[in-house]
Amino acid sequence: MDFIQGEALLVNKPLEWTSFDVVNKLRYALKRKTSNKNYKVGHAGTLDPLASGLLIICCGKMTKRIDEFTGMDKEYTGTITIGATTPCFDKELPPDAFYPTEHITEELLRETAKQFVGLIQQYPPIYSAVKVDGQKGYLAARKGKDIELKAREITIIEFELTRIAMPEVDFRVVCSKGTYIRSLANDFGKALNSGAYLSALCRTQIGEYKLSNALSIEDTIKRIEAAPAPPVEEK
């Protein structure tokens, strides 16, 4: 590992960890390795705590490329549960409404999925880090405030249904920067004249970087500890 020029570490984020939890854990190991308390570490694209999968951790001079990594197309796999909605569009909160599903056939599911491929307008979830009047949406939502988020233009490159076992539908999606898969699940339910929420999510690819090449947090730390110490810079 080249600590001076920096590294882009591919990490498999486990469930219930925040992206910042991963950054903080690795920052501690990297600062100890480099003996540099100001060593820079950051992530390139947040994953929700209930999502797992590929997280790119940039360190050293590689932090200058964070925006480049964040702007890359991403691939996800996961599960959408049909027939109910939650306030946060995933299973972090319990369902707040239930809807009929008797009319939903496999053909309807697949035809509806096709409607979302291409350039679309998408509203972020209220429970998100998108700021409204200077405050993050999820903070305002938890206080019971009525907030209105603006739609964003995003691109769904592929939206494939890989397993249908109602009320669960597994999927694979390839999308542009700024896409909320939770919103896609919610909008998918509306388009079915029903409801839906995201019940599982895994990020499998960012640009050309794949989850299959990522290490666990523990193995990443072992790799850092096993690497040669960086040379001491002359003053």
Active site residues: 48
* Residue type at 39 in one-letter notation: Y
CA distance 190 to 184: 10
CB of 166 within 8 A of CB of 176?
Answer: no
CB atoms within 10 A of CB 219: 12
The DSSP letter of residue 202 is E
* Residue type at 211 in one-letter notation: L
Helix (H), strand (E), coil (C) string for 120-159 = EEECCCCCCCCEECCEEHHHHHHCCCCCCCCCEEEEEEEE
| Long-range contacts (CB closer than 8 Å, 24 or more residues apart) made by 105-111 | 106/164, 108/192, 109/161, 109/164, 109/169, 109/192, 110/161
